[in-house]
Structure 1
Amino acid sequence: MAMHTPYPHDTRKEGPVPTESTLLSERTPSGGFALYAAPGGRPGTGAGLPALVAWHAERAPHALAVADGDTTLTYAQLVLAARALAAYLQRHGVRRGDPVALLMPRSARTVTAQLALWWAGAVCVPLDPAHPRPRSEALAADAGVTLTVGDGKLLESAAPAGATLALPDEPLPDVAPDLTHAPELGPDAAAFILFTSGSTGRPKGVAIAHHAIAELVTDPAYLTLTPRDRVLFHSPMTFDASTFEVWSALANGAAVVVCAVQRPSFEDLAQQAERHGVTVAFFTTALFHQLAVRRSRVFALLRTVVVGGEAMAAHHAREVLRAFPWLELVNGYGPTETTTFATAHRVTDADCDGQVPIGRPIAGATAYVLDDAGRTVPHGERGELWVGGSRLALGYTGQPELTAERFTSHTDLGRLYRTGDVVSVRPDGVLDFHGRTDDQMKVRGFRIEPGEVEHALRDQPEVDDAAVAVYRPSPDDARLIAFVVAAPGPVPRPGSLRDRLAAVLPAHLVPDELTVVGELPLTPSGKVDRRALTDLVAAGGCDTPAAPLAPLEQAVADLWSRSLGRDVTRPDADFIALGGHSLLALAVTDDLREELGVELTLADFFAAPTVAGQAALVERALLAEHRDLHPHAPEDTDGH
């Protein structure tokens, strides 16, 4: 089933919605985009993101562009700072087309640095400060990085090998007062190289063009976004959702609100939204589900919520829509290779009677549902989703064979990306998602190729074989689980293996649970039976009681049990060993704040990951609060 329909027109927005034929007419014969002037003189999407930001700076120089805690930047200040930093980068050797890694915590300076790299003509390769250095080095090598820039302290501790350049802490003097000058970009100029999991153990660097991001975010018809809006930026820079969070705001004259807390709690998100008047936010599906369970007050502060990464639970969507009926809830779908979102659907209460759809193609994307022979399937039948249109990625950096395999030139349909996702089309043209054609997984919004994790496990000397799967103890929780077959010799310790994986893989690729088995279950065709692996976990039972729990330990254990979906009865029970992960930890810290009145950061949580350890933290926090309220009370010298 071929689909070209743009998202239905939002009656709250003025002006016509661009049609597919309008979008196609703007393409040049070479497949790129011509520079054109939109009504009112705004640059076309082919001019790239710097030109769009410069246009807003000229039109409304004093409008808020970026807010970060107590720091604010107007559009004029942002453009002038980015241009000055771009000149600084060029003086230090950055040239047009250079892939330059960016390593710094999320902040207003991050936004300025991204814009400056583009103004200097470079391609931005975001690196995550939380990733192990070997991982960052591998990504930088694959991207062909010539220089790593960013925060000076982070460069010392986490930068990959090679040349580095610390960005100045203080604003640089402006190179010229002109706000309108923007770099000229070719039709296929890359803005980002973003990495996704690779089935062979090698991550894939996806090169995303400027025009693809600009077309996705400029005057979008699939959600409401005006110059008066403020969009929350809380995703890691390495996650493609951050391109939407930052550039949907700046391409439309709105403001980016930077979440200054690097690992925000549920309450942190609400506080950031409340303090800065955030109106638009993106949440991964798993995070949305957790916020929905709690009827988080963050929904009361927002007008638009975009959700993506996994299948949306209809009952959670309905609960949120009924509790916050003004909310515009958009379900977005799209691999990184299709520039963040390929389809979208504005969710209504009626949609929640069944499966929540992933919608129709948006912003120049096209969708084709094909069978194994490459023929379109009838309405209602399942097939594989192939995405085309103007926003496809340029390809995988340094992997031409893989690029040719996944991005094909169809004789009749043009250039297409094979998603590997199984979908069907309703009679009204709306798409439903049904799973994968391969072993690829989605866990908490991250795309995971099992082979990448299995490859890292098999590299360990005491491991003979390995397999990973996803276990869902509840509809709102997904855990990456691993099973290893020991090599001859000492049996590997799961905790030790996880620690070594954490030294080479990002946190989302480190299994939440790891079990040593005698052999891996196989299907009749000889493949690893991943369903049988999850059945092994489900049959694992609860942990065995040890010493009785003290009252505060029992309170902590009860909160753990609720989030983990299993009975926790031991004071030495370890949250991570029981399958806990960062999203569940956020749930527990939120419950600790609500039920015990104790604020516990994620750093504190993972520094004391046992029931007894966290009970001690809770006790200290409660005693400290008591002393603050009763400064003249005698101190308890017996520790009780």
Structure 2
Amino acid sequence: MTTVPAPHDATRKEAPVPTEPALSSESVPSTAEGGRPGPAAGLPALVAWHAERAPHALAVADGDATLTYGQLAGAARALAGQLQRHGVRPGDAVALLMPRSARTVVAQLALWWAGAVCVPLDPAHPRARTEALIEDAGVTLTVGDGKLLDAVAPAGATLVLPDAPLSAAWPDDEPGAGEPPADRSLPDAAPAPAAESAPDAAAFIMFTSGSTGRPKGVALAHRAIAELVTDPGYLTLTSRDRVLFHSPMTFDASTFEVWAALANGAAVVVCTVERPSFEDLAQQAERHGVTVAFFTTALFHQLAVRRSRIFAPLRTVVVGGEALAAHHAGEVLRAFPWLELVNGYGPTETTTFATAHRVTPADCAGQVPIGRPIAGATAHVLDEDGRPVPDGERGELWVGGSRLALGYSGRPELTAERFTTHPEWGRLYRTGDVVSRRPDGILDFHGRTDDQVKVRGFRIEPGEVEHALREQPEVADAAVTVQRPSPDDARLIAFVVAAPGPVPRAEALRDRLAAVLPGPLVPDELTVVDDLPLTPSGKVDRRALTDLLLADTAGAPAGPLTPLEQAVADLWSRSLGREVTRADADFLTLGGHSLLALVVTDDLREELGVELSLADFFTAPTVADQAALVERALLAAHPEPRPHAPENTDDN
């Protein structure tokens, strides 16, 4: 990995300083036309303005339930008052643990109105992971769903939210509110009251993968989020739009999905299915008239391959997380020519998106660019010595501007390492991404300077997974890399050197990792090897690791498959890109993952007429199990007719 020197080295006299030192975007003004608050006022002020101006306009749709802007503001203010009476003070880090719903939107807004920093937690994460994030963020209170709080039992104070906190009235004796901690003085019980946060105060702490085995909590400021989503010039978004909210709360894309809508008077459409299928997403879009949606690049590729009908009601699609395949982008634009397709780029440290590009059919003839900086961001392409590189040459991308994160929560040394202050360009974040700049200022993406990878839109530091593997007593060493069996599939592969003693079982190791790591960080395949290949400099040779993959784990046929087993095996083979021939073949062991499971469940629906949820899919991990599940579903949908009773022919 190359090292860029500190700013005073990067700007020594012999380093050329260009007349236009960086790509930059126009900053959003502090006050919008019509008296609307500008980004500096923050998102709560924007929501309040829309609630006053159009109180009956739709703000949130959640299944059959809806919230107008007036109801949203009233419910959030009432909950903010309850939080303050529970002892929440400005600047407190408050964790939010609840399923994705309209209540989630109310709770996030209420936390900000109470002056708190929202720390979203994923209900699907292992308990140990959730506990570690709560500790690292310095959480003083955890609020959310009662059942989830009981399951996690987080340390410190908790507050159970009612099942439907969607009215403006929230009585002081609300059941389940719990008693405030005795060691905290409570404010007067007067109605809530907006503890306005400073523009540069933290709004969210969102965690990303860490190379040392410890996740990093990225603190995002109110101003940065508001500037990203207020009157976004990189896409079309009006008060008449409806934006789909289907990402996990812990994924920074959810920030765009919720607050891009609410900052502009549009509506949020909540997908409440925990792990939505392709069909679930399409039905949500059609039922609620969704016009704007974000998809991870991997999900977009799968939807593009299937020419999903979800694109039909949409006007704008934002894609991000990995390199966008030109042929998939082209196919979608040809099939849905009215669609505005935006390729977004940006690590969490730059507040979701730092650059964006509206993709045209002409872009699809080559590499799709990541575009120019947006909404107050700046972009600098530097060489190994920290000097600007000429157009067309590759360098590391450093991002500046007003939307940089405040830093890493509780980790000042890491913050100082990744965020530096440049005398000419201000505060910069070193992305570790390799880019080049075209003569017209548009950026192309070329990969990483380090080992960080993206798998299905999730940012993964292999070191975090390797650390978790080395913690296992049967493991002497480990290395993790990414395999791409096809352009539309990426799999996290772990290679393990066994410690003296019994050879570890891959399934057992994966199960133990699943107890401490979130799903995307659990390797899709795990292979035991004698040793790890090294480069001449003594580092793990990750390119050579792919040569160590063992023979197809599906193995030789163990006997003929039944017709239903063969149908399931054929669908698996098509999805996994490898032949599946055994009834006892396991989907996860063969490298399957949640996105490929979505592909299989959609194929089962289209080709066999069977509706399987992802939860059902993963309860039947083998070909035989899944064939039995399919058979039961088919019998339930098409029961055999009951035989008629014989007619009575007795003449007497």
> Shorter-chain-normalised TM-score: which range?
over 0.9
Residue of 263, 266, 271 corresponding to 2:275 = 263
Structure exhibiting the larger radius of gyration computed from Cα positions? 2
Separation in structure 1 between the aligned mates of residue 546 and residue 230 of structure 2, nearest angstrom: 43
1:540 deviates by: 4.8
Aligned to 1:150: 144
Within a 5 Å distance, the mapping from 1:487-506 to structure 2 comes to: 487-506=499-518
Within a 5 Å distance, the mapping from 1:618-633 to structure 2 comes to: 618-627=630-639, 632=642
Aligned to 2:437: 425
Within a 5 Å distance, the mapping from 1:392-541 to structure 2 comes to: 392-537=404-549, 540=552
Residue of 111, 114, 125 corresponding to 2:119 = 125
Note closer, same or farther for the CA distance 1:584–1:79 as it changes in structure 2 (3 Å cut). Answer: same
**Does the residue aligned with 1:398 lie in a helix, a strand or coil?**
coil
Separation in structure 2 between the aligned mates of residue 410 and residue 538 of structure 1, nearest angstrom: 49
**Equivalent residues of 2:81, 2:192 under 8 A apart:** no
Aligned to 2:178: none
Separation in structure 2 between the aligned mates of residue 180 and residue 621 of structure 1, nearest angstrom: 51
Structure 1 residue 323 and structure 2 residue 342: aligned? no
Structure 1 residue 187 and structure 2 residue 199: aligned? yes
1:524 deviates by: 1.2
**Does the residue aligned with 1:556 lie in a helix, a strand or coil?**
helix
**Does the residue aligned with 2:573 lie in a helix, a strand or coil?**
helix
Within a 5 Å distance, the mapping from 1:368-379 to structure 2 comes to: 368-379=380-391
Structure 1 residue 313 and structure 2 residue 332: aligned? no
**Does the residue aligned with 1:514 lie in a helix, a strand or coil?**
strand
Aligned to 1:389: 401
**Equivalent residues of 1:384, 1:419 under 8 A apart:** yes
**Equivalent residues of 1:303, 1:328 under 8 A apart:** yes
Note closer, same or farther for the CA distance 1:180–1:329 as it changes in structure 2 (3 Å cut). Answer: farther
**Does the residue aligned with 1:146 lie in a helix, a strand or coil?**
strand
**Does the residue aligned with 2:549 lie in a helix, a strand or coil?**
helix
Separation in structure 1 between the aligned mates of residue 81 and residue 24 of structure 2, nearest angstrom: 43
1:625 deviates by: 1.2
Q: Tell me the alpha carbon deviations over residues 498-528 of structure 1, each in whole angstroms, 9 at most, x when there is no partner.
A: 0000000000000000011110111111111
**Equivalent residues of 2:418, 2:429 under 8 A apart:** yes
Separation in structure 1 between the aligned mates of residue 276 and residue 130 of structure 2, nearest angstrom: 23
1:632 deviates by: 3.4
**Equivalent residues of 2:245, 2:269 under 8 A apart:** yes
Note closer, same or farther for the CA distance 1:197–1:478 as it changes in structure 2 (3 Å cut). Answer: same
Aligned to 2:14: none
Structure 1 residue 304 and structure 2 residue 316: aligned? yes
1:435 deviates by: 0.1
**Equivalent residues of 1:2, 1:369 under 8 A apart:** no
**Does the residue aligned with 1:496 lie in a helix, a strand or coil?**
helix
Structure 1 residue 287 and structure 2 residue 299: aligned? yes
Note closer, same or farther for the CA distance 1:353–1:92 as it changes in structure 2 (3 Å cut). Answer: same
**Equivalent residues of 2:245, 2:254 under 8 A apart:** yes
**What count of residue pairs does the alignment treat as equivalent?**
607
1:533 deviates by: 1.1
Separation in structure 1 between the aligned mates of residue 553 and residue 519 of structure 2, nearest angstrom: 26
**Equivalent residues of 2:527, 2:550 under 8 A apart:** no
Aligned to 2:134: 140
**Equivalent residues of 2:316, 2:341 under 8 A apart:** yes
**Equivalent residues of 1:560, 1:588 under 8 A apart:** yes
The letter for the 2-side match of 1:579 is G
Q: Identity of paired residues, percent?
A: 82
Separation in structure 2 between the aligned mates of residue 49 and residue 529 of structure 1, nearest angstrom: 47
1:97 deviates by: 0.5
Separation in structure 2 between the aligned mates of residue 536 and residue 504 of structure 1, nearest angstrom: 26
Separation in structure 2 between the aligned mates of residue 532 and residue 161 of structure 1, nearest angstrom: 44
1:182 deviates by: 4.6
Aligned to 1:104: 98
Q: Structure 2: give runs of 5+ residues left out of the alignment.
A: 1-19, 172-189, 646-652
**Equivalent residues of 1:80, 1:179 under 8 A apart:** no
Aligned to 2:377: 365
Within a 5 Å distance, the mapping from 1:39-188 to structure 2 comes to: 39-171=33-165, 174=169, 182-188=194-200
Q: Tell me the alpha carbon deviations over residues 467-524 of structure 1, each in whole angstroms, 9 at most, x when there is no partner.
A: 0000000000000000110101111100000000000000000000001111011111
Q: Tell me the alpha carbon deviations over residues 190-243 of structure 1, each in whole angstroms, 9 at most, x when there is no partner.
A: 110000000000100000001100000001000000000000000000000000
Aligned to 2:253: 241
Separation in structure 2 between the aligned mates of residue 361 and residue 460 of structure 1, nearest angstrom: 43
**Equivalent residues of 2:243, 2:267 under 8 A apart:** yes
Separation in structure 2 between the aligned mates of residue 257 and residue 329 of structure 1, nearest angstrom: 20
Note closer, same or farther for the CA distance 1:38–1:183 as it changes in structure 2 (3 Å cut). Answer: farther
**Does the residue aligned with 1:185 lie in a helix, a strand or coil?**
coil
Note closer, same or farther for the CA distance 1:275–1:307 as it changes in structure 2 (3 Å cut). Answer: same
Separation in structure 2 between the aligned mates of residue 301 and residue 634 of structure 1, nearest angstrom: 48
**Does the residue aligned with 2:479 lie in a helix, a strand or coil?**
strand
1:300 deviates by: 0.9
**Equivalent residues of 1:471, 1:537 under 8 A apart:** no
Separation in structure 1 between the aligned mates of residue 346 and residue 164 of structure 2, nearest angstrom: 38
Note closer, same or farther for the CA distance 1:54–1:561 as it changes in structure 2 (3 Å cut). Answer: same
Aligned to 1:638: none
Q: Structure 1: give runs of 5+ residues left out of the alignment.
A: 7-18, 27-35, 636-640
The letter for the 2-side match of 1:448 is I
**Does the residue aligned with 1:434 lie in a helix, a strand or coil?**
strand
Q: Tell me the alpha carbon deviations over residues 616-635 of structure 1, each in whole angstroms, 9 at most, x when there is no partner.
A: 011111111111xx653589
**Equivalent residues of 1:3, 1:361 under 8 A apart:** no
Separation in structure 2 between the aligned mates of residue 151 and residue 82 of structure 1, nearest angstrom: 16
Note closer, same or farther for the CA distance 1:282–1:159 as it changes in structure 2 (3 Å cut). Answer: farther
TM-score, normalised to structure 1, is 0.93
Separation in structure 1 between the aligned mates of residue 612 and residue 162 of structure 2, nearest angstrom: 33
Separation in structure 1 between the aligned mates of residue 157 and residue 82 of structure 2, nearest angstrom: 16
**Does the residue aligned with 1:500 lie in a helix, a strand or coil?**
helix
Separation in structure 1 between the aligned mates of residue 297 and residue 98 of structure 2, nearest angstrom: 26
What's the RMSD between the two structures over aligned residues? 1.8
The letter for the 2-side match of 1:595 is E
Separation in structure 1 between the aligned mates of residue 530 and residue 461 of structure 2, nearest angstrom: 24
Within a 5 Å distance, the mapping from 1:515-594 to structure 2 comes to: 515-537=527-549, 540=552, 543-594=555-606
Separation in structure 1 between the aligned mates of residue 608 and residue 164 of structure 2, nearest angstrom: 42
Separation in structure 2 between the aligned mates of residue 633 and residue 444 of structure 1, nearest angstrom: 51
